[in-house]
């Protein structure tokens, strides 16, 4: 085995950490992913930085907290000037390619202001979050009365489907994400009652196999060293699986719903607004869960099978031996847990993700098949990749830590004591519902291994969970006076985090050290009363000089 030359960075969308058998799901067997874990390290406390696709990904791709990069929700442009994984890796001699989804929205205003042509090589990379694009596909083609949801939705995939003979203007919707009744009516999986149906598509043409193949096509053509972000949309909604995955799981295979009447009745006002909103209310209905969860499981089973195909192919082509493989997700999915749907808010259900890293290098032999309970954040990935690429660490820019020491068995923990997750709900209906100005429509999570603090900007009380004794996070302890010292301690960490100098990205620690000495040796000799007080060399340009009275030198005719 050789040292990892390339990186295959696989991300699924909305994949819960606990819906893989290696993470403990009792009924959903994912042997291929489990095998990857057996060959690598499975991280058991990997947290994303925001429970929403766009913000989570922007953190992963920039290696910076949401509050640092500012792209705090879906479709908030990542501003020109923020450095990305691609910037760091290319500097270290590794290409950085995209196959699939990023949810990146280009800062077109910033590009125009800085005079960067969007079609130039640099302009394209900035617009694509630092990636060179093999295929960009954000995985969805929603369509409403005001038009399409985004500009990157399933275009190439739709073209592929059309070429294969699938009909209509949007086969992504009509075939990949819908069933079909006996009368030829499309049963759209936008309506959750249809999630239990079978997608009207050949399995090989559905989204996961399609994009997996695209990944292999990239790797086949690529010359290393490369980092390939293979970014697949499923098991993200619309929830519907093709045969044979549709119907593969039944009610008896579902994890029991995690919710109590008491948590609902006593819920924090912001949380309650989420629970009682249309999505929360919908996923609180048993008929919704019963339709959706089996489809969600089928989609994951399909993912696992496709990973089997991919890993086998990597072995056959030799890439298994020189490629680090990272498998993770951008957040989870409540599926009715905690009276919620979707992914907003900070239960582990959403903020904790699967993270498996297989490193082919001999240094990693000692840790194969181990489980790490280190506190890991998604922002650790760019720092890890930069380390693999042999680049110099840039802790003044990348806020995460390389995981190589853990992968190589030289460390068991990351340097952090807590993980952070942030949620900006400015773009939702909640600020209006709750009467919160958008400058305060923010929630923050700080979690240690034992505790989880949730801080609400805008004057709300906090929430507190005891992760050790209440891992399902059902009992909010924040108002229990007995836990005031715990809250104080967590808040001290939180306030320190909030003050981190994360915008100071243009000077490294070494730069500052150099500046310390430099002002004096370039002549700024502050506070010197008399030249005898100071080293002669420092003032050699100021002493022993001769001049004439200005009256004798000045050209008065001018």
Site for a second copy in 163-202 (CB under 8 A): 163-168, 170, 173-175, 178, 180, 184-186, 188, 190-193, 200-202
Task: Single out the residue of 251, 371, 484, 498 in contact with a second copy (rule: CB under 8 A).
Answer: 498
- Nearest distance, CB of residue 530 and a second copy, angstroms: 5
User: 146, 141, 144: which is closest to 160 by C-alpha?
Assistant: 141
Task: Single out the residue of 318, 439, 484, 489 in contact with a second copy (rule: CB under 8 A).
Answer: 439
- Nearest distance, CB of residue 147 and a second copy, angstroms: 6
Of 146 and 223, the one with the shorter C-beta distance to a second copy is 146
How many Cβ atoms from other residues are within 10 Å of residue 180's Cβ? Answer: 16
Q: Please identify, among the stretches 29-37, 62-70, 244-252, 256-264, the one whose residues bind a second copy according to the rule CB under 8 A.
A: 62-70
Q: Please, what is the Cα angle at 78 between 74 and 83, to 5 degrees? A: 135
Q: Please identify, among the stretches 43-51, 93-101, 131-139, 287-295, the one whose residues bind a second copy according to the rule CB under 8 A.
A: 287-295
Q: Please identify, among the stretches 36-44, 159-167, 265-273, 324-332, the one whose residues bind a second copy according to the rule CB under 8 A.
A: 159-167
Task: Single out the residue of 27, 315, 468, 541 in contact with a second copy (rule: CB under 8 A).
Answer: 541
Task: Single out the residue of 1, 2, 122, 484 in contact with a second copy (rule: CB under 8 A).
Answer: 122
Task: Restricting to residues 468-497, name those near a second copy by CB under 8 A.
Answer: 495-496
User: 60, 43, 42: which is closest to 51 by C-alpha?
Assistant: 60
Q: Please identify, among the stretches 386-394, 469-477, 480-488, 539-547, the one whose residues bind a second copy according to the rule CB under 8 A.
A: 539-547
Task: Restricting to residues 311-370, name those near a second copy by CB under 8 A.
Answer: 341-342
How many Cβ atoms from other residues are within 10 Å of residue 445's Cβ? Answer: 26
- Nearest distance, CB of residue 382 and a second copy, angstroms: 16
User: 44, 4, 49: which is closest to 20 by C-alpha?
Assistant: 44
| Cα separation, 400 vs 376, whole angstroms | 9
Of 461 and 520, the one with the shorter C-beta distance to a second copy is 520
Of 26 and 144, the one with the shorter C-beta distance to a second copy is 144
Q: Is the bond into 251 cis (omega within 30 degrees of 0)? A: no
Q: Please identify, among the stretches 35-43, 317-325, 350-358, 527-535, the one whose residues bind a second copy according to the rule CB under 8 A.
A: 527-535
DSSP string, 131-142: PEEEEE--S---
Q: How far is CA 122 from the centre of its chain?
A: 23
| Span between the terminal Cα atoms of the chain, in Å | 79
| Cα separation, 170 vs 509, whole angstroms | 52
Of 366 and 438, the one with the shorter C-beta distance to a second copy is 438
C-alpha distances (whole Å) from 242 to each of 31, 46, 387 are 20, 30, 40
């Amino acid at each position: 085995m050789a040292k990892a030359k390339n990186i295959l960075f696989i991300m699924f969308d909305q994949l819960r950490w606990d819906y893989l058998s290696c993470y403990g799901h009792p009924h959903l067997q994912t042997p291929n992913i489990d095998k990857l874990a057996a060959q690598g390290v499975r991280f058991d406390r990997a947290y994303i930085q925001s429970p929403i696709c766009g913000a989570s990904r922007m953190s992963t791709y920039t290696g910076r907290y949401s509050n640092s990069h500012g792209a705090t929700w879906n479709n908030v442009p990542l501003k020109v000037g923020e450095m990305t994984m691609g910037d760091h890796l290319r500097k270290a001699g590794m290409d950085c390619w995209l196959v699939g989804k990023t949810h990146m929205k280009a800062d077109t205003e910033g590009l125009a202001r800085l005079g960067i042509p969007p079609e130039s090589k640099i302009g394209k990379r900035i617009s694509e979050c630092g990636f060179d694009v093999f295929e960009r596909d954000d995985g969805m083609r929603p369509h409403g009365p005001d038009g399409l949801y985004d500009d990157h939705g399933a275009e190439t995939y739709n073209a592929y489907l059309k070429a294969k003979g699938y009909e209509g203007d949007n086969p992504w919707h009509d075939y990949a994400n819908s069933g079909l009744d006996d009368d030829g009516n499309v049963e759209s999986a936008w309506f959750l009652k249809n999630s239990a149906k079978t997608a009207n598509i050949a399995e090989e043409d559905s989204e996961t196999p399609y994009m997996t193949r695209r990944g292999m096509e990239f790797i086949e053509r690529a010359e290393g060293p490369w980092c390939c972000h293979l970014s697949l949309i499923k098991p993200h909604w619309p929830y519907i699986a093709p045969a044979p995955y549709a119907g593969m799981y039944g009610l008896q295979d579902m994890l029991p719903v995690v919710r109590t009447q008491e948590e609902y009745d006593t819920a924090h006002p912001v949380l309650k607004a989420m629970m009682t909103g249309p999505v929360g209310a919908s996923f609180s209905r048993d008929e919704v869960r019963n339709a959706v969860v089996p489809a969600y499981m089928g989609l994951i089973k399909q993912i696992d099978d496709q990973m089997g195909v991919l890993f086998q192919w990597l072995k056959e082509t030799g890439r298994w031996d020189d490629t680090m493989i990272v498998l993770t997700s951008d957040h989870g999915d409540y599926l009715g847990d905690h009276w919620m749907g979707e992914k907003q808010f900070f239960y582990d259900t959403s903020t904790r993700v699967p993270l498996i890293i297989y490193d082919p290098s001999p240094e990693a032999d000692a840790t194969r098949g181990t489980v790490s309970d280190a506190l890991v954040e998604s922002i650790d990935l760019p720092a890890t990749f930069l380390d693999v690429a042999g680049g110099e660490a840039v802790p003044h820019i990348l806020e995460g830590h390389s995981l190589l020491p853990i992968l190589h068995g030289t460390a068991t923990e990351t340097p952090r004591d807590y993980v952070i997750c942030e949620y900006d709900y400015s773009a939702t209906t909640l600020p209006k519902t709750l009467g919160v100005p958008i400058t305060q429509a923010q929630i923050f999570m700080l979690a240690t291994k034992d505790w989880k603090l949730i801080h609400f900007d805008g004057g709300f009380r906090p929430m507190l969970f005891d992760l050790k004794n209440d891992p399902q996070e059902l009992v909010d302890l924040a108002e229990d006076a007995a836990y005031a010292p715990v809250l104080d301690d967590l808040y001290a960490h939180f306030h320190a985090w909030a003050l981190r100098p994360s915008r100071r990205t243009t000077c490294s620690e070494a730069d500052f050290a150099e500046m310390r000495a430099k002002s004096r040796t370039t002549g700024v000799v502050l506070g010197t009363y008399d030249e005898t007080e100071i080293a002669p060399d420092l003032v050699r340009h100021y002493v022993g000089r001769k001049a004439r009275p200005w009256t004798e030198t000045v050209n008065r005719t001018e």
